Chain A
Amino acid sequence: SQQGEEDPQALSIQEGENATMNCSYKTSINNLQWYRQNSGRGLVHLILIRSNEREKHSGRLRVTLDTSKKSSSLLITASRAADTASYFCAGGSNYKLTFGKGTLLTVNP
């Protein structure tokens, strides 16, 4: 079963705009991770937020985690065409990850 459900399934924005993706998960987790997948490629780790953290930043990325609502959000600021990819959240527990179905982000030049 999928751990997370991303929302929206697809998002199209203009370069320079911000992109926000949401993720809801079902079971308890130790951490929540976000990965990016370019078309036809493997997944690349973006950021990890632990269950006792509320917010984390990395460059143009901002992740929040609300364990009471079992939800997380990923904000990409000042988006670029190169950010076009699928983005997956994954709940981490006992060193295993359970992935959501992903959000396809398209950034138009």
Chain B
Amino acid sequence: NAGVTQTPKFRVLKTGQSMTLLCAQDMNHEYMYWYRQDPGMGLRLIHYSVGEGTTAKGEVPDGYNVSRLKKQNFLLGLESAAPSQTSVYFCASSVPAVDETQYFGPGTRLLVL
């Protein structure tokens, strides 16, 4: 099992450009999450999904959109990138029926100029 994978690993964007971050998990997990981590901070929840076709807002959703068309994939979109969105983005998944442990991907480092 690859676990949770994220694509790309690193990206540089110019202000106003758009991009999509892809998260994939092969563990058949029901729940998936997108977080951002800024220097000296813990992770903050952007959006999450409790199942295929469902999404919900987290703590810091502004400027981001998400989609969960397939159970194994969770996409995070930035329609018009801003320098404030420079961060490291982490995806995670979990199986609440088992416990609330979350399994994290390796992260995507995004720099918006």
State which residues 67-113 of B face A: CB under 8 Å.
90, 92, 94, 96, 99-107
The answer to whether A42 touches B106 (Cβ under 8 A) is: yes
Interface size on A, residues (CB 8 A): 25
Mostly, the A contact residues are: strand
The answer to whether B42 touches A95 (Cβ under 8 A) is: no
Q: How far is the CA of A90 from the CA of B45 in the complex (A)?
A: 12
- A86: min CB distance to chain B, Å: 9
State which residues 31-87 of A face B: CB under 8 Å.
31, 33, 35, 40-45, 48
A42-B106, A95-B31 as given contacts; A48 in contact with B99, CB under 8 Å: yes
The answer to whether B42 touches A88 (Cβ under 8 A) is: yes
Contact with A41, one of B43, B99, B103, B106 (Cβ below 8 angstroms): B106
The answer to whether B42 touches A101 (Cβ under 8 A) is: yes
A1-B59, A42-B90, A42-B107 as given contacts; A95 in contact with B100, CB under 8 Å: yes
> CB-CB < 8 A to A101: which residues of B?
40-42
The answer to whether A95 touches B104 (Cβ under 8 A) is: no
The answer to whether A99 touches B42 (Cβ under 8 A) is: yes
- B56: min CB distance to chain A, Å: 9
Q: How far is the CA of A88 from the CA of B43 in the complex (A)?
A: 9
A1-B59, A42-B106, A45-B103 as given contacts; A95 in contact with B94, CB under 8 Å: yes
State which residues 7-64 of B face A: CB under 8 Å.
31, 33, 35, 40-45, 48, 50, 58-59
> CB-CB < 8 A to B106: which residues of A?
41-42
The answer to whether B42 touches A44 (Cβ under 8 A) is: no
Interface flag for A98 (CB, 8 Å) = yes
Q: Which single residue of chain B is at the shortest CB-CB distance from A95? A: B96
> CB-CB < 8 A to A102: which residues of B?
42
> CB-CB < 8 A to B35: which residues of A?
99
Q: What are 12 A-to-B residue pairs whose CB atoms are below 8 Å?
A: A1-B59, A30-B100, A42-B107, A43-B102, A45-B101, A45-B102, A45-B103, A88-B43, A92-B100, A95-B100, A96-B48, A99-B44
